[in-house]
């Protein structure tokens, strides 16, 4: 199962809106074939592994429940392929909310021994974006920011966009490289004019995340770098942005979303629902402080990536949450710490949504 999880992780962000899954065929304690989900429309992990070896009498380990037929399906169902291949036993880490146990049932019906739950926690952890999107229809939200030792958020000085060193910048690009979308506010576009592309190893990635800009009043220039070709752009605005500006943004090839703006703030839940409908399963909110605090305030953040940088900026700290925000203090869960010299990444979950582990299945008969 560990090898299946490694295979799944190796295609993270390459299969959307399909979940990234790994599968391993084993006979006599030896791995005889490996598979990972192909890009959307291509073979699933199980099918990929089954195509590589004679599976009669073998055991199959998969990180997600094998699929069953459904209308509009693009590939042949894995459960049928497993049965036809003569697999003896299947070990499944996690149920697929889209399949809901029907895959397990079908295999058992065909006389295959199915074991459930080995590696469930690791599989759910790996698939958090897909699981949340399937359950709630909303993308999984990662709030990313850099903070100095004196608690200031944002750029150190005019013209300098990155507070952190090269190792942390590379880490950010590797995250941009797997998520479906990146979001910033108009203030960040005005201050930094970011390209918002994934450039791991310094080179533009083949697959780019969708760029989302929040601009209620139509402040950003249609000449901004975020409109450069290479990745789709969505600009979320309100009824108060000028028609001429909207026209100019559309001419730059961006999609416009008009959101409600109760109390002067864009309706973020409405935005996330719309992004979810567009198959965006994961979103990094990169700033600035105003946008980040709105996401925290609306309790829409699932995961935090805080880069702490050993600088003392000696200017007024920008708080992530405005003083007096009516929120219980947030303690991150499952915290990990990654040294990225000279910076440190503190990563953790807010607990606003929990992945399902093992919903009860009908007992084996
Ligand atoms: C699996 N193995 O590797 C993946 C699965 O339209 P299709 O044929 O690509 O089917 C998409 C559904 O299959 C998707 O919504 C999810 O429920 C499941 N993904 N299933 O057995 C895999 N990626
Ligand atoms: Zn499948």
Domain boundaries, the chain: 2-126, 139-349
How distant is the alpha carbon of residue 304 from its chain centre? 12
Mention the CATH class of domain 2-126: alpha beta
What number is the average pLDDT over the span 72-97?
97
Q: Which residues surround ligand 2, an ion (CB under 5 A)?
A: 44, 67, 78
What pLDDT sits at residue 304? 97
On the question of pLDDT at 290 being above 90, the answer is: no
Q: What proportion of the chain, given as a percentage, has pLDDT over 70?
A: 92
On the question of pLDDT at 365 being above 50, the answer is: no
Nearest CA owner, ligand 1 atom 4: 44
139-349 topology per CATH = Dihydrofolate Reductase, subunit A (3.40.430)
Sign of CA dihedral 188, 173, 335, 62: positive
CA distance 273 to 283: 12
Show which residues are catalytic: 46
Q: Convert the pLDDT of each residue in 336-349 to its tens digit.
A: 999 999 999 999 99
Residue 91 parent element (H or E)? strand 89-92
Q: Which atom of ligand 1 is nearest to the CA of 46?
A: 2
The string of DSSP letters for 265-304 reads S--HHHHHHHHHHTT--EEEEEE-HHHHHHHHHTT---EE
Ligand 1 in reach of 48 Cβ (< 6 A): no
Contacts of 244 (CB under 8 A, 6+ apart): none
Task: State the distance from the centre of ligand 2 to the C-alpha of 277, rounded, in angstroms.
Answer: 22
Q: Of 47-51, 206-210, 265-269, give the lowest mean pLDDT range.
A: 265-269
Nearest CA owner, ligand 1 atom 12: 18
The string of DSSP letters for 26-68 reads EETTEEEEEEEPPSTTS--HHHHHHTTS--TT-EEEESSPPP-
On the question of pLDDT at 362 being above 70, the answer is: no
What number is the average pLDDT over the span 324-342?
88
What number is the average pLDDT over the span 245-273?
94
Nearest CA owner, ligand 1 atom 10: 73
Same fold, 2-126 and 139-349: no
Ligand 1 in reach of 93 Cβ (< 6 A): no
On the question of pLDDT at 233 being above 70, the answer is: yes
On the question of pLDDT at 111 being above 90, the answer is: yes
Ligand 1 in reach of 23 Cβ (< 6 A): no
On the question of pLDDT at 151 being above 90, the answer is: no
What pLDDT sits at residue 313? 81
Ligand 1 pocket mutation, candidates 12, 46, 96, 129, criterion most atoms within 8 A of CB: 96
Measure the CA dihedral 163/168/169/174, to 10°.
Answer: -150
On the question of pLDDT at 8 being above 60, the answer is: yes
CA distance 313 to 125: 36
On the question of pLDDT at 293 being above 60, the answer is: yes
- pTM (two decimals): 0.94
What number is the average pLDDT over the span 183-191?
94
CA distance 317 to 315: 6
Give the CA angle between residues 248, 238, 265 to the nearest 5°. Answer: 135
What pLDDT sits at residue 90? 98
CA distances from 296 to 269, 290, 320, 327 (A): 12, 10, 8, 9
On the question of pLDDT at 156 being above 70, the answer is: no
Q: How long is the chain?
A: 365
Q: Convert the pLDDT of each residue in 30-45 to its tens digit.
A: 999 999 999 999 999 9
CA distance 317 to 101: 50
On the question of pLDDT at 360 being above 60, the answer is: no
Confidence category of residue 305, pLDDT binned at 50, 70, 90: very high
Q: Which atom of ligand 1 is nearest to the CA of 97?
A: 17
């Amino acid at each position: 199962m560990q090898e299946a999880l490694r295979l799944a992780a190796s295609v993270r962000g390459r299969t959307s809106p399909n979940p990234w899954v790994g599968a391993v065929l084993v006979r006599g304690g030896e791995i005889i074939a490996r598979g990972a989900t192909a890009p959307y429309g291509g073979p699933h992990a199980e099918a990929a592994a089954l195509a590589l070896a004679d599976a009669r009498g073998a055991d199959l380990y998969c990180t997600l429940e094998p699929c069953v037929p459904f209308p509009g399906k693009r590939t042949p169902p894995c459960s049928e392929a497993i049965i036809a291949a003569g697999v003896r036993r299947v070990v499944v880490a996690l149920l697929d909310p889209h399949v809901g146990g029907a895959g397990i049932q079908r295999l058992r019906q065909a006389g295959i021994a199915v074991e459930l739950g080995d590696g469930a926690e690791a599989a759910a952890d790996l698939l958090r974006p897909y699981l949340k999107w399937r359950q709630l229809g909303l993308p999984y939200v990662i709030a990313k920011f850099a903070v100095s030792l004196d608690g200031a958020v944002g750029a150190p000085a005019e013209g300098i966009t990155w507070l952190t060193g090269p190792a942390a910048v590379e880490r950010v690009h590797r995250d941009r490289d797997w998520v479906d979308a990146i979001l910033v506010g108009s203030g960040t576009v005005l201050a930094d004019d970011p390209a918002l592309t994934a450039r791991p190893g310094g080179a533009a990635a083949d697959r780019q995340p969708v760029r989302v800009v929040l601009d209620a009043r139509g402040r950003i220039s249609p000449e901004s770098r975020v409109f450069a070709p290479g990745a789709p752009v969505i600009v979320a605005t309100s009824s108060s942005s000028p028609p001429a500006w909207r026209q100019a943004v559309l001419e730059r090839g961006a999609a416009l979303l008009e959101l409600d703006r109760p109390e002067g703030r864009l309706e973020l839940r409405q935005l996330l629902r719309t992004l979810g409908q567009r198959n965006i399963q994961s979103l990094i909110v990169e700033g600035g402080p105003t946008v980040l605090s709105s996401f925290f305030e609306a309790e829409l953040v699932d995961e935090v990536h805080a880069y702490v940088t050993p600088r003392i900026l000696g200017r007024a700290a920008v708080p992530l949450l405005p003083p007096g925000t009516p929120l219980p203090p947030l303690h991150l869960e499952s915290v990990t710490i990654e040294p990225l010299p000279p910076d440190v990444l503190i990563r953790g979950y807010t607990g606003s949504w929990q992945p399902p582990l093992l919903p009860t299945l009908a007992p084996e008969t």
